[in-house]
Structure 1
Amino acid sequence: MKRTLQSSQTAASPLFSVMALALIAATYGLARLGYGLFLPSFSATFGLTPTVGGLLASGASASYCVSALVGFRYAPTRPRLMAILAGATATLGSAGIATTQDTLVFTTAVLIAGMGAGFATPALVELVHRNIAPTQQSKVQSVVNSGTGFGVVVAGVLALVVGTSWRLAWGLIAVVALGALIGVLRTDRSRAVPATDPELTQPAQTGAELRALWHPIVAAFVFGVGSSAIWVHGRTLLEDQGMAVTLSAGAWIALGIGGAVAVLTAPWLARHALRTTWPATVAAVAAATGLFSLVPQNLPLSFAAAALFGLAYTAASSVLIIWATHSATHSAAGTSILFTSLVLGQAVGATLTGSLIEELGFTAAFVTAAGICLLGVLKPAPRPSPTGQGRVAAQTLETTARMAQ
C-alpha cells in the first residue's frame, strides 16, 4: 500500500473527489482551455492574428510548465500548498482577463491563469493518494481528471449565455476557481497522516524520475503537439468556415460533454494494460482532429468529432497519470513531468498550427496535427514492471526481511 498509515479515520468523504474534480474543471477546462473557446472574441477585442493567438497560447503553456515544475518539486510533500497556488493563480488570472482593457495586462493575465493547471494536477494526484483507499486510486484519478471535460462544458455554456459579454464569463470563472479551491481544502483529510511517513517526506529525485519516464515523456510531447490544434484553433476554424457563433459554442459544449463522459472509461483504463489504452486513446484523438477539419460545415459530424476528441483526449491524459503511477517513484512528481512534457508539446503545436493555418489553410494544418498525434504511438507503451505501488511494497518487504535477520 502506497500510504502505509492511511486508515479509515483519515479517509476523505466522497465530497473530496467532487471538489477535486471541480478544481481540475476550473483550472484546466475553464482558466486554461477556455482561452481557445474565447479566442475569436479575444482576437476581435485585442487584434490578435492566428499566429499571435497561437504564440500567446504557447506562452500560457510555458507558464503552465513553470508551475508544473514547482509542483514536481513540492507536491509530494506539500500538496495543499500546491492546491492553494492552483486555485489562486486561476482565480487571479481569470479576474485579470475579465477586467483589463490593456493588451499587455491581458497577456499577463492569460499567462497567470494558465499556471493554475500546472499546480493542480500534481497536487491532486498526491491528495488522492493520501485520501483514497489504494484499491480505488486509479479509478478516482481518472474520475478527477475528467473534470477537464466538465469545465469545458461550463465554458461552452457560459459562451452561449453571455454571448459577446466575455468579460462576465471570465469573472464567473474566477469565482468558480476560488470556490473549488475552498472545497478541496475543506474536504481534504490528509492532514491526519503523520509527517513521519517516509512516503510523505522523501523528496522526488529528478534524475531517477526522468530515467524511469523517458518513453512516456516523449510520447506525451508528441501527443501534445498534435492535440493542440483543436484546443487552440478549433472554434476559430468552425467560425471561419461559416458556422454561427452560437453553434460553434455548441460544438465546444459537445467537446466538453465528451470529456465528461470519459469518466465512464475509468474502469476500462484501470483494467487494461498501457499497451492497449495509450494507442487506442491517442489514435482516437488523431481521428477526431482530422475529421474535425474535413467536415466543419456538417453540423452533426463536426459535433461528433468534437465529442470524440473530448472523450479521447481526457482518457489519454488519464492514461498518462496511470503511466506515471506505475513507473515513477512519486506519482505526483511523475505526473508533473509527463504533463509538463504534454504541455510543452502543446506550446510547440499551438504556434506551429497557427503558422500552418496562415500558410496552408485550416484543413492542411489540422490533418498535419492528426498525423503528428499518430507518431506518438508508433512504438507501443511498455508494460510497467514493477508498478509504482508494487515498488513500494517490495521495498517494505525488503526492510522487514533485513530487520528479521
Structure 2
Amino acid sequence: MDAKKLIAIGLPMIAVTYGLSRFSYGLMLPYISETIPMNPSTSGFISSLSYIAYCIAILFAMIFSKKITSKTILMIAGLSSIIGLGIISVSPNPIFLGLGIFLAGMSTGFSSPPYAAIVNNHVETGLQNQANSWINSGTSIGTAFTGAIAIVMADSWRETYLIFMVIAIFVLIANYKVLPKQVISEEKGTAGCSKKEWSHSIQLIIASLVIGISCSAYWTFSRDFVLNLDRVPAYLGEWFWVIIGAAGLLGGTAGVFINHFGLVRAYRVSVFILSTSSFILGVFPENVIMGFLSPAFFGSSYIFMTGVLIVWGISVFKTNPSFGLGVPFLILALGQSIGSILSGQIADISGYYVLFIGASIIGYVTLLLKPKVN
C-alpha cells in the first residue's frame, strides 16, 4: 500500500480518536463544568476513565492482532468513537459523561496498533518511521481542530461533540473503503515476544509510565488553569488548544529526526521540552510570552515524544509491531490514568502552581533513562 495513501486515511482516524474523542475533554472541561457541576477530583477521575478505556482497548488490539484483521479492529475503533461522542453530547450528569468518555477513550486503544501492523506489512522499510510518525501526528490535527471549533462554537459544547460525531462517521467510511480488506494472512508470525525483547523493554516501560504521569496534568487542567488567571488575556485561553495542536505538527518530524540524529538524542530532546512546558506553566503562568511558549512546547514535544516511543517500541519488539506500539502506548495511558486522578487530588489540596511544577520534575527524572534496542 502506498505510504502517502495510508497516511491520508490514518492521520484523520488518529485525529478523530485521539484529538476529538480523547483529549478534547480537557479543552471542553470549563464549558462542561458550567452545565454539569464537578469539582477537580471528579473531573480528574472522569479524565482517568478515558485512559483506563484506552488500556483495555489497546490490550485487546495487541492480543487479537494475529486473529482479527487490522481493518476490523479499526472499524471497531471508529464505532467506539462515534457512540462515545454521541453519549457525551447528551450527557445529563457525570455518570453518563463518564460513560461517554470511557467509550470514546476506547477508540484510541483500538486505532493505534493496527496502523503499526499495516505500516510494517505494506510500507517499504525506509519509509516506515516517517509513516508511523505522520499517522501519529493526527493527534495534533485533532487537537488544533477541537480548539478552533470550541472558539467558533463558544459555549455550545454539546453541539460541538455532535459535530465531532459526524466527522467520525465520515472518517470511518473513508477507512472502510481504502484500507486493505484482508491483512491478517500477512501478519502471521510470532504472537508473543522473546525474553530478550521483554528484557530490553524495561526502560521503555518505565519511561512510558512516568512520562504518562507527568503529562496528564497538562492534558486535563492546563486550559482550565489559564482561563481562570486574571492577568492573562482571554484570547490566550481560547487559543490555547489550537496552539498545542498546531505546534504538534512539528512532532510529525520525529521519524526524520531519529533517522538523522538517533533514537537516544530524539528521546532526550522530546522529554526535556515536554517537561519544560509544565515547568513554564507553573512558574510563569501570567507571562503572556511564556503563555504562548508553554503550549507550543507541549504540543510539539508530546507528539514528537509519542513518535519516539513508537520507533523505540517497534525496534525492541521486532517480532510483533503491534506490541511495539501497543506496549509503550498502553503503559503511557496507564501513567496518564494514574496521573489524572493524582492531579485532581493535588489541584484540590495544593493548587495548580504546585501541580504543574511537580509534573515537570517528574518528567525531568525520565531523562536518566536511555533507549535500548535489540
What range describes the TM-score normalised by the shorter chain of this pair?
Answer: over 0.9
Deviation at 1:158, TM superposition (A): 0.9
Counterpart amino acid of residue 267 in structure 2: W
Q: Sort the Cα spacing of 1:46 and 1:210 in 2 relative to 1 into closer, same or farther, 3 A.
A: farther
1:132 corresponds in structure 2 to 123
Q: Which consecutive unaligned segments of at least 5 residues does structure 1 have?
A: 1-10, 386-405
Q: Which consecutive unaligned segments of at least 5 residues does structure 2 have?
A: none
For residue 80 of structure 2, give the secondary structure of its aligned residue in structure 1. Answer: helix
Deviation at 1:304, TM superposition (A): 1.6
Within 5 A, what are the aligned runs for 1:63-142?
63-77=53-67, 78-142=69-133
Relative to structure 2, which stretch is displaced further, 218-227 or 331-340?
Answer: 331-340
CA distance in 2, matches of 1:159, 1:364: 28
1:49 corresponds in structure 2 to 39
Q: Sort the Cα spacing of 1:85 and 1:208 in 2 relative to 1 into closer, same or farther, 3 A.
A: farther
Q: Sort the Cα spacing of 1:263 and 1:344 in 2 relative to 1 into closer, same or farther, 3 A.
A: same
CA distance in 2, matches of 1:295, 1:136: 40
Relative to structure 2, which stretch is displaced further, 290-299 or 109-118?
Answer: 290-299
Deviation at 1:246, TM superposition (A): 4.7
Q: TM-score, normalised by structure 1?
A: 0.87
Runs of 4+ in 1 over 6 A off after TM superposition: none
CA distance in 1, matches of 2:307, 2:282: 25
For residue 367 of structure 2, give the secondary structure of its aligned residue in structure 1. Answer: coil
CA distance in 2, matches of 1:157, 1:194: 38
Match of 1:221 among 203, 209, 212: 209
Relative to structure 2, which stretch is displaced further, 108-117 or 244-253?
Answer: 244-253
Are the aligned partners of 1:274 and 1:381 in contact in 2 as well (CA < 8 Å)? yes
Is 1:255 the equivalent of 2:247? Answer: no
Match of 1:365 among 355, 358, 365: 355
2:10 corresponds in structure 1 to 20
Match of 1:267 among 256, 268, 285: 256
2:287 corresponds in structure 1 to 298
Identity fraction in percent:
25
Counterpart amino acid of residue 348 in structure 2: E
Relative to structure 2, which stretch is displaced further, 250-259 or 126-135?
Answer: 126-135
Match of 1:378 among 352, 368, 371: 368
Q: Sort the Cα spacing of 1:381 and 1:208 in 2 relative to 1 into closer, same or farther, 3 A.
A: closer
Deviation at 1:59, TM superposition (A): 1.7
Are the aligned partners of 1:255 and 1:303 in contact in 2 as well (CA < 8 Å)? no
Q: Sort the Cα spacing of 1:149 and 1:218 in 2 relative to 1 into closer, same or farther, 3 A.
A: same
The structure having more radius of gyration, on CA atoms, is 1
2:226 corresponds in structure 1 to 238
For residue 260 of structure 1, give the secondary structure of its aligned residue in structure 2. Answer: helix
2:303 corresponds in structure 1 to 314
Counterpart amino acid of residue 65 in structure 2: A
1:168 corresponds in structure 2 to 159
Counterpart amino acid of residue 305 in structure 1: S
Are the aligned partners of 2:255 and 2:308 in contact in 1 as well (CA < 8 Å)? no
Are the aligned partners of 1:226 and 1:370 in contact in 2 as well (CA < 8 Å)? yes
For residue 18 of structure 1, give the secondary structure of its aligned residue in structure 2. Answer: helix
For residue 48 of structure 2, give the secondary structure of its aligned residue in structure 1. Answer: helix
Residues 313-359 of structure 1: CA deviation (Å, up to 9, x unaligned)? 11000011001110002111221111110011011111112211111
Counterpart amino acid of residue 278 in structure 2: T
Deviation at 1:184, TM superposition (A): 2.1
Q: Sort the Cα spacing of 1:94 and 1:208 in 2 relative to 1 into closer, same or farther, 3 A.
A: farther
Residues 23-61 of structure 1: CA deviation (Å, up to 9, x unaligned)? 011000110000111111122221111111111111221
Match of 2:146 among 155, 177, 194: 155
CA distance in 2, matches of 1:125, 1:237: 35
Counterpart amino acid of residue 30 in structure 1: L
Are the aligned partners of 1:23 and 1:181 in contact in 2 as well (CA < 8 Å)? yes
CA distance in 2, matches of 1:36, 1:21: 21
Deviation at 1:209, TM superposition (A): 5.6
CA distance in 2, matches of 1:217, 1:315: 17
CA distance in 1, matches of 2:196, 2:173: 34
Q: Sort the Cα spacing of 1:87 and 1:208 in 2 relative to 1 into closer, same or farther, 3 A.
A: farther
Q: TM-score, normalised by structure 2?
A: 0.94
Match of 1:34 among 16, 21, 24: 24
Counterpart amino acid of residue 144 in structure 2: V
Is 1:288 the equivalent of 2:280? Answer: no
Counterpart amino acid of residue 371 in structure 1: I
Relative to structure 2, which stretch is displaced further, 75-84 or 117-126?
Answer: 75-84
Relative to structure 2, which stretch is displaced further, 107-116 or 201-210?
Answer: 201-210
Query: How many residues are aligned here?
Result: 371
For residue 100 of structure 1, give the secondary structure of its aligned residue in structure 2. Answer: coil
Are the aligned partners of 1:222 and 1:345 in contact in 2 as well (CA < 8 Å)? yes
Deviation at 1:237, TM superposition (A): 0.7
Are the aligned partners of 1:56 and 1:107 in contact in 2 as well (CA < 8 Å)? yes
